Structure 1
Amino acid sequence: MIEVKDLHKSFGNAHILKGITTTFEKGKTNLIIGQSGSGKTVFLKCLLGLFEYEKGSISYEGRNFSALSRDEKTNLRAEMGMVFQGSALFDSMTIAENVMFPLRMFTKQSKSEMRDRADEVLKRVNLDDAHNKMPSEASGGMQKRVAIARAIVNRPKFLFCDEPNSGLDPKTAMVIDNLIQEITDEFDMTTVINTHDMNSVMEIGEKIIFLKDGLLEWEGSKDTIFKTDNEAVTNFVYSSELFRKVRKMYIEEDQ
């Protein structure tokens, strides 16, 4: 579990995060949604330890990040996996080398142990025969699966995903959503996903927080988001034709 209390972050005179308090639950897919400029990306980077914040706290299974020593922060980061927007694979490395990269950084495993672990996670994401390919030879969906394999290769406790479906067609995006959901369940991780994809919200939104102007405007689940009377949330979700149809279905079921 990740606990966030009264988090504030500014850049100069721009107050980006304005006292966010929430929790991200272990073993669940936790989604951060909101309009562009709402503070989603800044919030995610604070959770990753990439941005320092002026006030508040972030605790990872009871460990307050700000109170940790440099070595303790390094050890905590080794427990984090990250799926970047655009996958962020190294073009000069094979797919297997990309996946092994975190193991080289954070472990003292032998080359054979790293290869075995890379084989294991590539098989898990259904890329058994892709080891020696270069990223340029892989489709967008394959690259995302490689990025997920790399993110989980070090058996993280915390998985962060920044717009994991960016640039993917709806069918491939659904495959990636389902894969993230399955891996979260299997490894009992705390998964946090920054997304604008309403299909993802509907499919895997077990815990959803909605940010507006740096404030936590609403939180709930994929079921309760259809029923909220929060105007900011309804304005946001109504921008999706699919959401309008699904919300109507939910309301009719209740009547």
Structure 2
Amino acid sequence: MIEVENLHKAFDGEEVLKGIDFKFEKSKTNLIIGQSGSGKSVLLKCMLGLFTPEKGIIKYDGKPYSEFTEDERKDLSKQIGMVFQGGALFDSMTVEENVMFPLKMFTKKQHKENKERVKEVLNRVNLDGNEKKMPSEISGGMQKRVSIARAIVNRPKYLFCDEPNSGLDPKTATVIDNLIQEITHEYDITTIIITHDMNSVLEIGENIAFLKDGVLAWKGDKSQIFKTDDETVTDFVYSSNLFQKVREAQQQGL
């Protein structure tokens, strides 16, 4: 679990996060949603230790990050997996080499053992047999699955995903959503996902933080978000034609 308490962050005197309180629960897909500029990425970077908040506490499994020793912070970094928006694969490395990269960086295991672990996670994301291919030789959806395999290869306790569905068609995006959720439950991970995709909210929104102008405007799950009367939330949720139709159907009792 990751807990954020009264978190404030400012840049050049302008406050971006204005007292965020939220619990990112273990073994759940925790979604951070909101419009551009709402503070989602800043919150994520604060939790990753890339930004230092002016005020507030970030706790990893009950211990404030500010109290971590340098060695504890290094250990924490080894326990974090990251799925980047664009996949962030190394173009000059094979699929196998991309997934093996964190193992070579953070462990001292033998090459044979690393290869076995890579094969295991590639099989888990349904990419066995693609080890020797280059990123340019596989589809965008497959690249995202490689990114997920790389993120979980070190058996992380925490998984951060920044717009994991970016650039994917709806069907492939749903596959990626479900894969992330399955892995979260299977490995008992605390997963945090930034997304603009309301389909993802509907599919895997188990614990949702909705930010607006640096404030936690609403929290709940995927079933509750379609029942709220909060206009700030409903304006965001039903901003697309698809979800406007969902709302109309709900009102008509269909």
Answer whether TM exceeds 0.5 for this pair. Answer: yes
**8 Å contact kept, 1:39–1:214:** yes
- Secondary structure at 1:97 match in 2: helix
Which position in structure 2 is the counterpart of 1:143? 143
Q: Where does 1:69-84 land on structure 2 (aligned, <5 Å)?
A: 69-84=69-84
Which position in structure 1 is the counterpart of 2:111? 111
Counterpart residue type for residue 79 of structure 1: Q
CA distance in structure 2 between the aligned counterparts of 1:205 and 1:211, rounded to whole angstroms: 15
**8 Å contact kept, 1:91–1:134:** yes
Which position in structure 2 is the counterpart of 1:9? 9
Which position in structure 2 is the counterpart of 1:63? 63
For structure 2, list consecutive stretches of 5 or more residues without a partner in the other structure: none
Counterpart residue type for residue 3 of structure 1: E
Counterpart residue type for residue 147 of structure 1: S
**8 Å contact kept, 1:33–1:208:** yes
Which position in structure 1 is the counterpart of 2:235? 235
Counterpart residue type for residue 236 of structure 1: F
CA distance in structure 2 between the aligned counterparts of 1:60 and 1:247, rounded to whole angstroms: 38
CA distance in structure 1 between the aligned counterparts of 2:137 and 2:215, rounded to whole angstroms: 42
CA distance in structure 2 between the aligned counterparts of 1:161 and 1:242, rounded to whole angstroms: 25
CA offsets per residue over residues 144-202 of structure 1, 9 Å max, x none? 00000000000011111000000000110011001001101100111100000000000
CA distance in structure 2 between the aligned counterparts of 1:141 and 1:42, rounded to whole angstroms: 27
CA distance in structure 2 between the aligned counterparts of 1:252 and 1:187, rounded to whole angstroms: 41
Superposition TM-score, scaled by structure 2 size:
0.97
**Structure 1 pair 252–24 and aligned structure 2 pair: CA distance change class (3 A):** farther
- Deviation of 1:68 after TM superposition, in Å, equals 0.4
- Secondary structure at 1:223 match in 2: coil
User: After TM superposition, where is structure 1 displaced by more than 3 Å over at least 4 residues in a row?
Assistant: 247-253
**8 Å contact kept, 1:227–1:251:** no
- Deviation of 1:107 after TM superposition, in Å, equals 1.0
Residue 180 in 1 paired to residue 180 in 2? yes
Counterpart residue type for residue 191 of structure 1: T
- Deviation of 1:247 after TM superposition, in Å, equals 3.3
Counterpart residue type for residue 10 of structure 2: S
- Secondary structure at 2:142 match in 1: helix
CA distance in structure 2 between the aligned counterparts of 1:172 and 1:242, rounded to whole angstroms: 18
Counterpart residue type for residue 218 of structure 2: W
Cα RMSD over matched residues? 1.2
Q: Where does 1:154-173 land on structure 2 (aligned, <5 Å)?
A: 154-173=154-173
- For these two proteins, the number of residue pairs brought into alignment is 254
- Secondary structure at 1:143 match in 2: helix
CA offsets per residue over residues 84-110 of structure 1, 9 Å max, x none? 000000111111111011111111111
Which position in structure 1 is the counterpart of 2:28? 28
**8 Å contact kept, 1:226–1:250:** no
CA distance in structure 2 between the aligned counterparts of 1:48 and 1:104, rounded to whole angstroms: 21
- Deviation of 1:238 after TM superposition, in Å, equals 1.3
- Deviation of 1:16 after TM superposition, in Å, equals 0.7
CA distance in structure 1 between the aligned counterparts of 2:158 and 2:115, rounded to whole angstroms: 23
For structure 1, list consecutive stretches of 5 or more residues without a partner in the other structure: none
Superposition TM-score, scaled by structure 1 size:
0.97
**8 Å contact kept, 2:125–2:179:** yes
- Secondary structure at 1:17 match in 2: strand
- Secondary structure at 1:21 match in 2: strand
Counterpart residue type for residue 62 of structure 1: G
CA distance in structure 2 between the aligned counterparts of 1:251 and 1:202, rounded to whole angstroms: 18
CA distance in structure 2 between the aligned counterparts of 1:156 and 1:14, rounded to whole angstroms: 34
**8 Å contact kept, 1:227–1:247:** no
- Deviation of 1:142 after TM superposition, in Å, equals 0.5
CA distance in structure 1 between the aligned counterparts of 2:100 and 2:85, rounded to whole angstroms: 19
**8 Å contact kept, 1:125–1:179:** yes
Counterpart residue type for residue 204 of structure 1: I
